[in-house]
Amino acid sequence: MLLSHRSSTITANIFGCGAVVAGVEEVSRNVTLESTRTVVVAPPSPTSEMSGDHKKVIKGSPSQYVKLNVGGSLHYTTIGTLTKHDNMLRAMFSGRMEVLTDSEGWILIDRCGKHFGTILNYLRDEWIPIPENQRELQELLAEARYYCMSDLVEVCEGAVRQREPEKDPVCRVPLITSQREEQMLIQSTSKPVVKLLVNRHNNKYSYTSTSDDNLLKNIELFDRLSLRFSRRVLFIKDVIGSNEICLWAFYGHGKKLAEVCCTSIVYATDRKHTKVEFPEARIYEETLNVLLYENRTGPDAELMQATSTRGAVAPVVCTSDDEEERRGGYLRKLV
Work out the pLDDT band at 316, boundaries 50, 70, 90: very low
Enter the pTM of the model.
0.45
C-alpha dist (Å) from residue 96 to 1, 88, 138, 236 = 88, 10, 29, 64
C-alpha dist (Å) from residue 162 to 15, 83, 159, 167, 293 = 100, 31, 5, 11, 31
pLDDT of 6 strictly over 80? no
The residue type found at 74 is: L
CA 324, distance to chain mean position in Å, is 57
246 CB burial (10 A radius; 0-12, 13-18, 19+): buried
More confident residue, 23 or 158: 158
Do residues 249 and 195 touch, judged by C-beta distance below 8 A? yes
The mean pLDDT value for 290-316 works out to: 61
Torsion of CA 175, 181, 182, 185, to 10 degrees: -90
C-alpha closest to that of 120 among 149, 156, 160, 154? 149
Work out the pLDDT band at 298, boundaries 50, 70, 90: low
Do residues 260 and 282 touch, judged by C-beta distance below 8 A? yes
C-alpha closest to that of 117 among 64, 79, 156, 73? 73
pLDDT digits (tens, 9 = 90+) for 143-193: 999 999 999 999 999 999 888 765 555 788 999 888 889 899 999 888 999
pLDDT digits (tens, 9 = 90+) for 224-269: 999 999 889 999 999 887 778 999 999 998 899 999 999 988 887 7
C-alpha closest to that of 67 among 102, 98, 91, 97? 102
For residue 285, count other CB atoms closer than 10 A to its CB.
15
Pairing of strands 263-267, 246-252: unpaired
Report the half-sphere exposure of 131 (CA within 13 A, side-chain side). Answer: 17
The mean pLDDT value for 23-47 works out to: 42
The helix, strand and coil proportions of the chain, stated in percent and rounded to the nearest 5, come to 50, 20, 35
109 φ, ψ (degrees, to nearest 5): -125, 120
